[in-house]
Structure 1
Amino acid sequence: ENATREPALTLLQFQQLLVGDWNSAVCPVKVAQDADSLGQPLMDYWVSSSHNSYLDGDQLASTSSADMYRRLLLLGCRCIEIDCVNARLTFESPAARIS
């Protein structure tokens, strides 16, 4: 009930949460020991991934396109979600889900 009246976090609090030292994606001890290894482009350290990879725009209003997989791979995406759907089933019941 209370959650619907006001947000749990302000925008500033959310931003601080994302960039705070205690929310680091790397171990500060290992970074301090091997600081010279951090000279590569960011894409060498983070896995670029996609969700709803087949969509060419907005999740609710866009169309699906197999070409989006090609585009993502050319952009360097390393993790692509693929939903294989039996045409007789609804999208909510995928035949296979590969991530």
Structure 2
Amino acid sequence: DAAETAASGAARSPLLFAVRHLLRDHALSPTEEVTDGVGLSLGEAVLGVSHGLHSRAPTILALVLKLDVLVASDFEKLRQAAAEPGSDARAAAAAGLTPEVLRARATA
């Protein structure tokens, strides 16, 4: 399928880095503002001229919808920091991230 091919080609791209960064921020701070911001950013990224789809839309959508872009091990350093006294809120939030939570937040 074209979306899977596009996603596999993006696996090592700056596009994957950007999507992972957006989803990681959302996983750590799932507030309404962050959810809206991530959704708007990804939505704008797939829009092309005259509100059509951009040529990279299948790749972006495949990354967001089909792949587990984030994995729990992405937050290991923050989990370790959460165990230290005086850790910040992001470190504390990372401690509770499981694959199920990441999947649920990514689909929000």
Shorter-chain-normalised TM-score: which range?
A: under 0.3
Q: Which has the higher strand share?
A: 1
Q: Which has the higher helix share?
A: 2
Relative CO higher for 1 or 2, CA cutoff 8 Å, sep ≥ 6? 2
TM-score between the two structures when normalised by the length of structure 2: 0.23
TM-score between the two structures when normalised by the length of structure 1: 0.24
